[in-house]
Amino acid sequence: MGNKGWSVLFGVTMLACAIGFAVSPLMGWWMPEGVSAHAGAVDGLFYLIYAVTAVAFIITEVILVIFMWRYAKTPDGKPPIAPNAGFPTFLKPFESFLNDHHKIELAWTIVPSIVLLVIVFAQVNAWAEIKYATRNRNDGTKVDSARAQIAVSARQFEWRMRYPSAARFKGWMAEPAATRKDFESFGKIPHFDDVHVVNELHIWKDHPVVVHLTTRDVIHSFNLPNFRVKQDALPGKMIPVWFTPTKVNCKWDESRQRYIDGYDPAGKKEKDKEYTWDIACAELCGWGHYRMIGRVFVHKDQAEFLDWLQKAEAEGTRRN
Amino acid sequence: MNSHAEHATDAHGHAHPELGFIRKYVFSEDHKIIGVQFLFTSIIFLGLGGILALLVRIQLAWPHAEIPFIHNYFPDNGGRMPESFYNMCFTMHASVMIFFVIIPFLTGAFGNFTIPLMIGAGDMAFPKLNMMSYWILWPAFVLISFSFFVDGGAAASGWTAYPTISSVAMPAGQGLASPAAPGSGPGQVLWLLSLLCVGVSSMMGSVNYITTIINMRAPGMTLYRMPMTIWAMFITAILQAFALPVLTVALILQTLDKTIGTTFFLPDGLSFGNWSPEVGGGQPLLWQHLFWFYSHPAVYIMILPSMGMVSDILATFARRPLFGYRAMIYSIAGIAGLGFIVWGHHMFQSGMDPRLGTGFMVATIMIALPSAIKVFNWLGTIYRGNLQFTTPMLFALGFVSLFIIGGLSGIFMAATPVDIYIHDTYFIVAHIHYVLFASSLLGIFGGIYYWFPKMFGKMMNDNVGKAHFFLTFVLCNCTFFPMHMVGLAGLRRRIPDITAGALEAKLLPLNEFMSISALLLGLAQLIFVANFLWSIFFGAKASQNPWKSNTLEWTTGDPVPGHGNFDTVPIVHCGPYEYGEHGDKDNCPQTEKSTTPVAAH
């Protein structure tokens, strides 16, 4: 391969990477649609960083390839450029700047630091909104702040969900102030009438939910990629996770006598992969880690959720 | 300096009787021989780590197929790899590559080989300690190799060994088997002990490097005349000296948890099936803090020496002074300094207080700045150069090109909200492989091709080297670049069967592409091994300074100097990067007075 050939190799390879990345959304190799209230913020910040890094990638790789081409050793051994050669015409106006290394170094230190600071401060608020207890704590005094609560206990290799009984839940919604203590005790103290379900997380659209996350053996990670939610479950600790679903993915199936997920309400399509939302454990937890997968069911409203809860409760009682 | 001068002349003056083979080549105190010993063992473990990586890739691409050859080993599991075996493969792949390949390559092989030669010293400050730092690795080699054959297999809880899966143990008297995972039994204990030995080795090395660089520089070799390789080794050694004790503590605590039933990392109230540990009171997050307090600086330990070597190689073959020499030093120091306060970015989703996450994010994103400055300086170095595309130069340029990708992808995961989505996906795997394979390892290959003449007095075959570069450069992008895409599509790391999840199953074709590329990439490395071994015996004889380089190692009398390195103590008159016009030649060795001073940066 000739000396100039190497710059071609670098250029072609980097171009292939860039094109591959650019077309991957079209191929489906990309983030799934976000279906929670904060997903837009997360994705927006992703695209901000994508834009900045894409520009940096293109500038540096193009310069590298051009330099490799332009300054490759010549076959006759003469230097590719005379030591006292001037700048090309389009760079002439910047000649004094380009000759002053100190100024160049200052420029390429200050400009990236400003860009990086912009990136940093763009992130802070979204992170706080998603994860800080101070921004999410429910004090139970306002009706519209009454939330769905679910206690999730992870274990090798399944997710066990604990819901309040339908009667208790209705009490919380009707009289938030009077039931405040009981509401707040739910995460820590299991009740005899709690409803236990394995691997199914039921919530309803446009209503915030808080998950009290625990594990009884090893570290697991409560990972809901479609919702842009991820939180490790840490042995010995209960960690709150908040999010608000914004899309419906389940319906009552008369023939099977149960609610099914993977349902696209707009297209009335069943078994739709895009509407199948996994709770896929994201922290190595043993041999069955890969198949420690639950499902999220987002009901269309509170009434439908209550209907499911009552059915689950009845089923549990029957079994007992 | 007097005593040092005497040592140098004395050692080379054949005043001592010739050492026997054992003392000269096995239990040697000569830093060059020790460096080559590190080099050989690292290459052997690179092979082992590579085979483990290929097993991982095979399972990922064809999760349900019966793979020829492999299926003979798993008759109980229908000829397929059991999940626990897969977990062991990626755990040991990472552990071997990090602790037995990259770190020994960089600080062990290159640190040892280059430091005394490039600063004009006869040997390390503590030659016996240096020998010890290599031989303490042998218990580690034995333990880690033996761990594959113990009950339950080698460690399988990830190279990060997070408690409680790694550390929970049965009550005293019931053996070492773990209730959490088969590989967390005796295999995990051997893993811990073996890493302890590696840590002790690195510690001995770093103390030696720091002392040598501070005390044993040749006359005239001021700090600001040291080549970038030495600066990088110096700062890396400081990083190791300060960070390693923390890992050592963590390893000892986990060993105690596993063997004598302490509960440093085990909280109350755990239960495994029907069995519950009776005591608790520990904290699993403590391990993560201790582990990452070492292991994040370790990421810089694994890249800074490569950056130093690449800087030297680029300047040599661009025939240009290194652009922004001091800025390069300050940015390495900046990376190292910031490197101590960014460990929490591995723990954004761990259950650590999210407000801490915000602080760690700020430090982590700002660490991109010194990295960016280094890239600009490398580009400034080749600007207006006279680029000689030798094999080491190609690997150095490849390093620059791919480090840009690895550096930029790091910004995504440093941003806490974005990390929520990409944490523990293949996006992270892509990032770490762009940094450790496409950058560190490319730098290491560059270093091997560059210093091979000094190590063995022979040249490696340049055309074969170029073929090796071509295949490695193209195939490593084919292997690792698509990992960004599958990661964004939601593919989790550390899963043996990607068809289980709703988001992941459709990524199988892309996974097959990556795996085939990886297999070819593995085969391409055989070209390197063949070239390496062939050249040691049959390579063309090297001249004293085959690359027309400036640094002191090329001024020794013989191409491969004896113990003591220099016939007379070199006197240094100028910096290491005076390339370009110097009368009738285009370089100026550091031992000569500079004729046309190059503008100082």
Write out chain A's pLDDT in tens, 320 residues. Answer: 678 999 999 999 999 999 999 999 999 999 999 999 999 999 999 999 999 999 999 999 999 999 999 999 988 877 888 767 777 777 777 777 777 788 889 999 999 999 999 999 999 999 999 999 888 876 554 445 557 899 999 999 999 999 999 999 999 888 888 888 888 899 999 999 999 999 999 999 999 899 999 999 999 999 999 999 999 999 999 999 999 999 999 999 999 999 999 999 998 888 899 999 999 999 999 999 999 999 999 999 999 999 999 999 998 876 65
Give pLDDT, residue B314.
97
Q: How many residues does chain A have?
A: 320
Give the whole-angstrom CA distance, residue A173 versus residue A164: 12
Reference B358, options B299, B434, B276, B414; nearest CA is: B414
Query: Which residues, 6 or more positions from B22, have their beta carbon under 8 angstroms from its beta carbon?
Result: none
* Whole-number Å distance between alpha carbons of B491 and B502: 10
Phi, psi of A210, deg, nearest 5: -115, 130
Q: Which residue of chain A has the CA closest to B486?
A: A29
* Cβ proximity of A153 and A216 under 8 Å: yes
- How close does chain B come to A118, measured CA to CA in Å? 10
Same domain, A105 and A157: no
Spatial separation of the C-alpha atoms in residues B598 and B601, rounded to whole Å: 9
The CA distances from residue B552 to B213, B328, B439, B589, in Å, are: 14, 20, 26, 7
Q: DSSP 3-state assignment of B465?
A: helix
Q: Is B40 touching A (CB cutoff 8 A)?
A: no
Residues of A within 8 A of B486 (CB-CB) are 29
Q: Which of B269, B373, B477 sits opposite A17 (nearest CB)?
A: B477
Phi, psi of A148 (to 5 degrees): -70, 135
Nearest to B165 among A127, A226, A286 (CB): A286
Q: What whole-number distance in Å separates Cα of residue A157 and Cα of residue A281?
A: 9
Mark whether A301 and A158 lie in a shared domain: yes
Mutant choice from A23, A91, A213, A289 vs B, greatest count of B C-beta within 10 A: A289
Interface of B with A in 414-453 (CB under 8 A): 415-418, 420-421, 423-425
Question: What residues make up the domain containing A103?
Answer: 5-134
Nearest CB to B365 within list A120, A225, A234? A120
| Cα separation, B107 vs B134, whole angstroms | 11
Q: Which of A134, A156, A177 is the last residue of a domain?
A: A134
| Smallest Cα distance from A171 to chain B, Å | 31
pLDDT band, very low/low/confident/very high, at B275 (cuts 50, 70, 90) = confident
Identify which of B380, B423, B496 has the shortest CB distance to residue A290. B496
> Would you call A156 and B358 a contact, using CB atoms and an 8 Å cutoff?
no
Task: Examine the domain organization and report whether A20 and A39 are in the same domain.
Answer: yes
- To test the contact with chain A by mutation, choose from B87, B160, B412, B421 the residue with the greatest count of A C-beta atoms within 10 A, namely B421
Q: Is B259 on the interface with A (CB under 8 A)?
A: no
CB B587 within 8 A of CB B29: no
The percentage of chain B sitting over the pLDDT mark of 70, rounded to a whole number, equals 95
Is B379–A29 a contact, with Cβ atoms under 8 angstroms apart? no
Q: Nearest residue of B to residue A3 by CA position?
A: B389
**Helix (H, G, I), strand (E, B), or coil: what is residue A161?**
strand
Strands, sheet with A293-299, edge to edge from the N-terminal-most edge strand: A200-204, A293-299, A277-280
Q: Give the three-state DSSP class for A251.
A: strand
Give the closest-approach CA distance of A49 to chain B in angstroms. 7
Same domain as A178, residue A292? yes
Closest CA–CA distance from residue B259 to any residue of chain A (Å): 18
Taking an 8 Å cut-off on Cβ atoms, the answer to whether B158 and A284 are in contact is: yes
pLDDT at B401 over 60: yes
Q: How far is Cα B17 from Cα B4, in angstroms, rounded to an integer?
A: 20
**Beta-strand pair A200-204/A209-215:** unpaired
Whether the CB of B71 is below 8 Å from some CB of chain A: the reply is no
Q: What is the pLDDT of residues B173-187, one digit of tens each?
A: 778 888 888 889 999
Mean pLDDT, chain B, whole residue set: 92
Region B33-48 average pLDDT: 97
B354 part of contact set with chain A, CB < 8 Å:
yes
Q: Answer whether B418 sits within 8 Å of A221, measured CB to CB.
A: no
Residue that finishes a domain, picked among A108, A134, A160: A134
- SS3 at position A40: helix
Residues 190-249 of B with CB under 8 A from A: none
Displacement of CA A16 from its chain's centroid (Å): 27
Q: Domains of chain B, with CATH numbers?
A: 2-13+28-269+279-555 (1.20.210.10)
Q: Is the pLDDT of residue B16 over 70?
A: no
DSSP string, B277-291: -S-----HHHHHHHH
Asked if residue B29 lies in contact with residue B130, where contact means CB atoms within 8 angstroms, the answer is: yes
Residues in B closer than 8 angstroms to A225, CB to CB, are 421, 490, 503
Does residue B4 sit in helix, strand or coil?
A: helix
Is the per-residue pLDDT at B10 higher than 70? no
| Cβ-Cβ contacts under 8 Å for B107 (sequence gap 6 or more) | B202, B205, B206, B209, B233, B236, B237, B240, B301, B305
Cα separation, A168 vs A181, whole angstroms: 12
Q: Do B397 and A30 touch (CB under 8 A)?
A: no
Residues A127, B82: C-beta atoms closer than 8 Å? no
A53 to B394: CB separation less than 8 angstroms, yes or no: no
- Where helices occur in B102-185 by DSSP H, the ranges are 103, 112-119, 127-135, 137-146
Q: Which amino acid is at B229?
A: T
Token pair belonging to A62: 């193009």
Q: Which of residues 315-334 of B touch A (CB under 8 A)?
A: 318, 323-324, 327
Determine the residue among B388, B492, B584 to mutate to test chain A binding: the one whose Cβ has the most chain A Cβ atoms within 10 Å. B492
Cβ–Cβ of A217/B181 closer than 8 Å?
Answer: no
Residues 100-129 of B with CB under 8 A from A: none
The answer to whether residue B44 neighbours chain A at the CB level (below 8 Å) is: no
**Tally of structural domains, chain A:** 2
Do A31 and A178 fall into the same domain? no
* pLDDT in the model for residue A319: 60
Three-state SS across B376-444?
Answer: HHHHHHHCCCCECCCHHHHHHHHHHHHHHHHHHHHHHHHCHHHHHHHCCEHHHHHHHHHHHHHHHHHHH
pLDDT score of B599: 46
- The answer to whether residue B439 scores a pLDDT higher than 80 is yes
pLDDT at B75 over 60: yes
Chain B segment 331-350 residues within 8 A of A by beta carbon are 349-350
Nearest Cα residue to B439 out of B408, B482, B464: B408
Q: Kindly list the residues from chain B whose CB atom is less than 8 angstroms away from the CB atom of residue A50.
A: 412
Has residue B1 got a pLDDT over 50?
no
pLDDT band, very low/low/confident/very high, at B8 (cuts 50, 70, 90): very low
**pLDDT tier for residue B277 given thresholds of 50, 70 and 90:** confident
B43, B101, B338, B437, B531 from B49: Cα distances, Å: 10, 8, 30, 12, 20
Q: For the residues B108-118, what does the mean pLDDT come to?
A: 96
Is A129 in the same domain as A155?
A: no
d(CA A34, nearest CA chain B) in Å: 10
Report which of B157, B161, B164 is spatially closest to residue B266, judged by C-alpha positions. Answer: B164
Q: Domain check: are A106 and A197 in the same one? A: no
User: DSSP readout, B307-359?
Assistant: HHHHHHHHHHHHTSPPTTHHHHHHHHHHHHHHHTT-GGGG-TTTTS-HHHHHH
The pLDDT tens digits for B352-391 are 999 999 999 999 999 999 999 999 999 999 998 999 999 9
Give CA–CA dist B395/B141, Å, rounded: 29
Residues whose CB is less than 8 angstroms from the CB of residue B412 and which lie 6 or more positions away in sequence, other chains included: A46, A49, A50, A53, B418, B419, B422, B427, B431
User: Taking CB atoms and an 8 Å limit, are A13 and B375 in contact across chains?
Assistant: no
Residue finishing a domain among A80, A112, A134: A134
* Contact by Cβ (8 Å): A229, A241: yes
Q: In angstroms, what separates the C-alpha of B33 from chain A's closest C-alpha?
A: 35
B62-68 long-range contacts, CB within 8 A, separation 24+: B62/B512, B62/B515, B63/B496, B63/B497, B63/B498, B63/B499, B64/B497, B64/B499
Tokens 């008759």: give the residue.
B75
Instruction: Check whether residue A157 and residue A60 sit in a common domain.
Output: no
pLDDT at B6 over 70: no
User: ipTM of this predicted complex?
Assistant: 0.95
Whether the pLDDT of residue B465 is over 70: the answer is: yes
Burial class (CB in 10 A: 0-12, 13-18, 19+), B463: exposed
- Of A31, A105, A230, Cβ closest to residue B488: A31
Torsion of CA B327, B332, B337, B342, to 10 degrees: 120
Query: Quick check: B181 and A286 CB within 8 A?
Result: yes
* A123, A234, A293: residue with CB nearest B285: A234
CATH of the domain at A305: 2.60.40.420
| Alpha-carbon distance B583 to nearest alpha carbon in chain A (angstroms) | 13
φ, ψ of residue A36 to 5 degrees: the values are: -130, 165
Q: Worst-scoring range by mean pLDDT, A5-9, A123-127, B107-111, B565-569?
A: B565-569
Put simply, the answer to whether B349 touches A232 (Cβ < 8 Å) is: yes
Supply the DSSP string of B516-549, one letter for each residue. Answer: HHHHHHHHHHHHHHHHHHHHHHHSPBP-SSTT--
Angle at alpha carbon of residue B309, lines to B307 and B312, rounded to 5°: 110
Q: Which of B182, B497, B506 sits opposite A28 (nearest CB)?
A: B506
| DSSP symbol at B20 | P
- Chain B's closest residue to A290, CA to CA, is B495
Q: How far is A212 from chain B (nearest CA, A)?
A: 12
Q: Does B501 touch chain A (CB under 8 A)?
A: yes
In whole angstroms, what separates CA A268 from the centre of its chain? 27
Cβ contact B418–A46 (<8 Å): yes
Q: How confident is the model over B243-268, as pLDDT tens digits?
A: 999 999 999 999 999 998 899 999 99
Q: If pLDDT is split at 50, 70 and 90, which confidence band does B127 have?
A: very high
For chains A and B, CB pairs below 8 A equal 293
Alpha carbon distance A285, A276 (integer Å): 23
The nearest CA of chain B is from the CA of A9 a distance in Å of 8
Give bridge partners of residue A224 from the DSSP assignment: A229
A52 & A178 share domain: no
End-to-end CA separation in angstroms for chain B:
29
CA distance B561 to A14: 42
What's the Rg (C-alpha) of chain A? Answer: 28
- Are A309 and A279 within one domain? yes
- Asked if residue A198 and residue A311 are part of one domain, the reply reads yes
pLDDT score, position B3 = 44
Q: Do β-strands A293-299 and A200-204 pair in parallel, antiparallel, or remain unpaired?
A: parallel
B569 — phi, psi (to 5°)? -65, 125
Are the C-beta atoms of B189 and B252 separated by less than 8 Å? no
Distances A280 to A150, A189, B199, B337, B491 between C-alpha atoms, Å: 17, 26, 35, 37, 10
Average pLDDT over residues B82-98: 96
Asked if residues A266 and A278 have their Cβ atoms less than 8 Å apart, the reply is no
Interface contact flag, B502 A273, Cβ < 8 Å: yes
Q: Does A156 lie in the same domain as A93?
A: no
Check residues A95 and B504 and name the one with the higher pLDDT: B504
B369 CA to chain A: closest CA distance, Å? Answer: 6
Q: Which residue of A has its CA nearest to B397?
A: A64
Look at residues B270, B237, B265 and name the one whose alpha carbon lies nearest to residue B250: B265
Q: How far is CA B406 from CA B263, B313, B368, B400, B429, in A?
A: 38, 20, 11, 10, 11
Confidence of residue B587 (pLDDT cuts 50, 70, 90): confident
